[in-house]
Amino acid sequence: MTSQADFLQPPRPAVWLVNLFTSAEEAESIRGDLLEEYFHLMSKSGVAFARNWYWRQTVKTIAHLVGGWIPCRSLVDHCRRSRRIFTAEVRLRVARAGNICSSSQISGFRTSFQRLCILCDEWDCDRTRHRVDVRWVYRRLGGQEKGDGCYDDARSGPWRIGGSAMLAWVARTGDASSLWMLPWYFADSVAIVIGGAIVRTRRSAAMLRRSNA
């Protein structure tokens, strides 16, 4: 349970993210500055506002630290691809959850969904399919199997729930053949940690070069 003293501190995941992406020397000044302004804002505008501000600063700070070594063009391209996938999924969810589409319309949509997948690169495409597959397993575990395949995801939860459901499925059935898919579901978390380590290492090396010069 979170205590009152904990609640007055900046959000822990945000602090952890700043530490992850900055070298020790940078973290000292950046975290100090964030903390100083956080307490100032907390006394002026309240805890909720200050915590919100801290999160916003953390996200923007990380974007700037990462932006220094990832080419802007590749970031933009990736965002566009992700948006295409996301839009297709949202439309599908709305259609299924609201029952506003007839079967023929949905089958037509599946075709356009697949068409959208073709527009994305292979990695995004596979990942999306795997996400939808794991949600199907999740539904089956919950006794809501409809038997119509992997696009039935009206009640889909976040990926991690899907990954956990997959683990539970394997534990229950003893069928470990689908374990190879697990890295896909936790890919975001792993990518954040690896990305943070790379950015931190590169920035530490740059600082060292600067101090040697």
Partner 1 sequence: MSGRDYLGEFEHIIVLALLRLDDRAYGVTVRQEIEFRTNREVSIGAVYATLDRLETKGFVKSHRGDPTPERGGRSKRFFRVTAKGVAAVNRTQRALQRMTEGLDLIRTYS
Residue from 63, 65, 46 nearest 7 by CA: 46
Nearer to partner 1, 172 or 210 (CB): 210
Q: Work out how close the CB of 69 gets to partner 1 at its nearest, in angstroms, rounded to a whole number.
A: 11
Produce one character per residue of 115-152: b if its CB has 16 or more CB atoms within 10 Å, e if not: ebbeebeeebbebbebbbbbbbbbbeeeeeeeeeeebb
Task: Work out whether 26 is an interface residue with partner 1 (CB under 8 A).
Answer: yes
Mapped onto helix, strand or coil, the DSSP state of residue 3 is coil
Q: Which long-range contacts (CB under 8 A, 24 or more apart) does 155-158 make?
A: 155/97, 156/93, 156/132
Task: Work out whether 30 is an interface residue with partner 1 (CB under 8 A).
Answer: yes
Task: Work out whether 61 is an interface residue with partner 1 (CB under 8 A).
Answer: yes
Tokens 């990942």 correspond to what residue?
A: 127
Nearer to partner 1, 30 or 117 (CB): 30
Q: Which stretch binds partner 1 (CB under 8 A): 83-91, 161-169, 193-201, 205-213?
A: 205-213
CA 36: distance to chain centroid? 29
Which positions from 40 through 59 interact with partner 1, judged by CB under 8 A? 56-57
The span from the CA of 213 to the CA of 207, in Å, is 10
Q: Which stretch binds partner 1 (CB under 8 A): 32-40, 80-88, 134-142, 147-155?
A: 32-40
> Could you say which of 8, 13, 24, 29 contacts partner 1 (CB under 8 A)?
29
Task: Work out whether 17 is an interface residue with partner 1 (CB under 8 A).
Answer: no
> Could you say which of 62, 85, 134, 166 contacts partner 1 (CB under 8 A)?
62
Nearer to partner 1, 61 or 156 (CB): 61
Mapped onto helix, strand or coil, the DSSP state of residue 151 is coil
The binding site for partner 1 (CB under 8 A) comprises 26, 28-37, 39, 56-57, 60-65, 67-68, 206-207, 210
